[in-house]
Amino acid sequence: MTIPKITLIGVGLLGGSIGLAARQRGVAGQVTGLVRRTESVEECRAAGAVDVATLDLAEAVTGAELVILCTPVGGMKAMAEAIKPYLAPDAVVTDVGSVKASVVTEVEPVLPRFVGSHPMAGSEQTGVANARSDLFENAVCAVTSTDQSDAACVARVNEFWTALGSHVISLPAAEHDTIVARTSHLPHVLASALVNAVLGQLREGEAAFLGTGFRDTTRLASGSSAMWRDIAMDNAPAIEQAIDDLQAELATLKTALNAREATALETFFAKGQEFRQQWITGLKDVERE
Amino acid sequence: MTIPKITLIGVGLLGGSIGLAARQRGVAGQVTGLVRRTESVEECRAAGAVDVATLDLAEAVTGAELVILCTPVGGMKAMAEAIKPYLAPDAVVTDVGSVKASVVTEVEPVLPRFVGSHPMAGSEQTGVANARSDLFENAVCAVTSTDQSDAACVARVNEFWTALGSHVISLPAAEHDTIVARTSHLPHVLASALVNAVLGQLREGEAAFLGTGFRDTTRLASGSSAMWRDIAMDNAPAIEQAIDDLQAELATLKTALNAREATALETFFAKGQEFRQQWITGLKDVERE
């Protein structure tokens, strides 16, 4: 698969990594990146992320077969409207936003050939200087087509992510958002809540008692607060539901603690131990295959 | 410091590691271990954890200058009463229980020369076969003396843990229990609750979306459920309070989610990021010293 011209709207960690991977793998004949600052033109070239970096929207979009929106989720609708006048009639558009229902609902009416994507890759780092050509290798990429989606557009988006080494999973946008609220956003929210409840109200002498367990459990709290604010804004209802599910578990535990019910307490911890063991064992099976 | 005879009541991971460390460091002239099963006698000898392993309580305790209770917290009072008849008048007694107020309250009236300890060391492994002579090196060891404690007994217990390479921190038993509920028990409880809320109610297709973030945040859930049942039983009120503190953070977050308050959401995540960064930076400073 070679796409003559791919355009990245925004060239940060994700956009830059797409550019690097598409160029190295011969997936793109040419990669153009739209940036907002003059300095970024040189940064993109230095990183090898694009063939052409430009601040000119018309230049960036004109003639592209595939346009990938790599800008914050909150501004996707405005960006879709901005690129629309320059878009070739058969161009396919996708994005990399980590929340999908709001994006699909807003962008699809503007750009009928839009199909939402969420490559499950990234790191605590940001910026094109940290872009990596292997960022999407063996990563899961959710593709959230709708009843309105053009089958050829969906196929093209699926092929593109597959060509970058990702495993495509197709599912509805709302289901995607519910799942990532549970598997990704809830762990992050808990890590931040744990830091705020302990480190934010540190008792005298308490620091000496914080060890590797606390460090690992709170690792996610070190992510970008601006990015997580946006995710929380965009996926608020699903995150609230995920928190409710977690709080139901804590309520069960508190009842058992309050009544000193040894059996119920052991069941709570044994479930956690067993479910996690089954999951980890399954992961090892997958890795062996 | 050489103590002519040290007796370990129970020789598992912790007792075995104390025996190994005390023998290697010359802290003990002789280490005797009391075990419950005949097979354990040979296991203790094979691990090099003791000089003498015995099933005979009188033999184990008689002539010991220091007796260390390494049995489950729930049975400490009964064990104190069992060893009392054989204990030398000047023998010092301590323990390794991870909860302290209940132990001190129950054991001190039986054995006035008892001083509670909690070496903050261990692992997901159990049993004397996993014992390590360096388990207590650079570990924090809480020592929880009371107004009734004999100063010479406290000094002896402090010296003992220091001789094994630990950093002794002296604090009241109730304060210890409050602190470990927040720094250790709360992260564990959250890891288990997160596993139960997600893996225990897994949605179709959801497993593909679980990554390293989920794995690290839930690592503690793989600990022994029997051990954590006991800890929860012994430290229930402090754990309930720690859960309340965490739930207050979640309640703040849910209010901000519900009202889509971008500033409040960013503050929640920024606090988590900054407090954790300060803590990690502080740890690195300590390591450099």
pLDDT tens per residue, range A38-88: 999 999 999 999 999 999 999 999 999 999 999 988 889 999 999 999 999
CA of B194, closest CA in chain A: separation in Å? 6
Measured between CA atoms, the residue of chain B closest to residue A250 is B193
DSSP symbol at B202: P
Q: Which of B79, B85, B87 is nearest to B10 (CA)?
A: B79
CA dist., res. A231 & res. A238, Å (int): 11
User: Cβ(A170)–Cβ(A55) under 8 Å?
Assistant: no
CA dihedral over A209, A212, A216, A219, signed as positive or negative: positive
Q: Do B183 and A192 touch (CB under 8 A)?
A: no
Res. B252: pLDDT tops 60: yes
Output the pLDDT for position A72: 86
Neighboring chain B residues of A210 at a CB cutoff of 8 Å: 183, 279
List the structure tokens of B137: 């090196």
**Range with the lowest mean pLDDT among A13-22, B13-22, B203-212?**
B203-212
**DSSP E strand boundaries for B110-162:** 116-119, 140-144
Q: Which fold has domain A175-258?
A: 6-phosphogluconate dehydrogenase C-terminal fold (1.10.3660)
- Write down how long chain A is: 289
| Arithmetic mean of pLDDT, B135-163 | 97
CA angle A45, A54, A91 (to 5 degrees): 110
Residue B288 has pLDDT above 60, yes or no: no
Share of chain B above pLDDT 90, in %: 91
Looking at residue A68, its pLDDT comes to 98
- List the single residue in B183, B226, B272 with the smallest CB-CB distance to A196: B272
Closest CA to B103 of B66, B151, B149, B144: B144
B3-171 CATH:
3.40.50.720
Cα–Cα distances (Å) from B234 to A43, B102, B186, B244, in that order, read: 58, 7, 14, 18
The Cα of A98 is separated from the nearest Cα of chain B by a number of Å equal to: 12
What's the confidence (pLDDT) of residue A125? 74
Give the per-residue pLDDT at B125. 74
β-pairing, A28-34 vs A3-9, is: parallel
- Is residue B16 predicted with pLDDT exceeding 70? yes
CA B151 to chain centre: 24
Q: Which residues of chain B make contact with A214, given a CB cutoff of 8 A?
A: 183-184, 187
From chain B, pick out residues whose CB is under 8 angstroms from the CB of A257.
232, 236, 239-240, 243
Confidence check: pLDDT of B284 > 90: no
Chain B residues within 8 A of A207 when measuring between CB atoms: 279, 282
Tell which of A136, A170, A250, A286 to mutate to test the B interface (max B CBs under 10 Å): A250
Q: Distance between CA atoms of A94 and B280, rounded to whole angstroms?
A: 38
The verdict on a CB contact (< 8 Å) between B140 and A208 is: yes
What's chain B's average pLDDT?
95
3-state secondary structure of A68: strand
Structure tokens at A98: 């980590």
At B162-220, the pLDDT tens digits run 999 999 999 999 999 999 999 999 999 999 999 999 999 999 999 999 999 999 999 99
Contact A71, A46 (CB under 8 A): no
Q: A16-25, B42-51, B70-79, B139-148: which range is least confident on average?
A: B70-79
What pLDDT was estimated at residue B126?
A: 82
pLDDT exceeds cutoff 80 at B93: yes
For chain A, give the mean pLDDT: 95
Confidence of residue B123 (pLDDT cuts 50, 70, 90): low
Q: Strands across the sheet with B52-54, in order?
A: B52-54, B28-34, B3-9, B66-69, B92-95
User: HSE (CB half, 13 Å, CA atoms) of A144?
Assistant: 26
Q: How far is A20 from chain B (nearest CA, A)?
A: 23
Q: Which residue in B167, B186, B199 has the most chain A C-beta atoms within 10 A of its own C-beta, making it the best mutation to test that interface?
A: B199
Nearest to A269 among B215, B225, B278 (CB): B225
Look up the pTM and report it.
Answer: 0.89
Strand partners, B68: B8, B94
For chain A, the structural domain boundaries read 3-171, 175-258
pLDDT of B22 > 70? The answer is yes
Residue B189 · residue B240 · CB < 8 Å: no
Distance, in Å, from the CA atom of B166 to the CA atom of A35, rounded to the nearest integer, reads 55
> Does the distance separating the beta carbons of B220 and A187 come in below 8 Å?
no
* DSSP code per residue over B59-95: HHHTT-SEEEE-S-GGGHHHHHHHHGGG--TT-EEEE
Phi, psi of A217 (to 5 degrees): -65, -25
Given a cut of 90, whether residue B40 has pLDDT beyond it is: yes
B257, A246: Cβ pair inside 8 Å? no
| Residue with token string 């754990």 | B239
β-partners of residue A145 are: none
pLDDT value, residue B282: 87
Which among A147, A157, A142 has a CA at the least distance from the CA of A65? A157
- What is the band of A124 on the pLDDT scale with cuts at 50, 70, 90? low
**Contacts of A72-75 spanning 24+ positions with Cβ under 8 A:** A72/A230, A73/A97, A73/A98, A73/A99, A73/A102, A73/A103, A73/A230, A73/A231, A73/A234, A74/A230, A74/A233, A74/A234
- Asked whether the beta carbons of residue A218 and residue B276 sit closer than 8 angstroms, the reply is yes
- Of B286, B238, B251, B199, nearest to A274 by C-alpha is B199
Residue A248: its chain B contacts at CB < 8 A?
197
- If pLDDT is split at 50, 70 and 90, which confidence band does A258 have? very high
**For residues B57-81, average pLDDT:** 95
pLDDT in tens, A165-203: 999 999 999 999 999 999 999 999 999 999 999 999 999
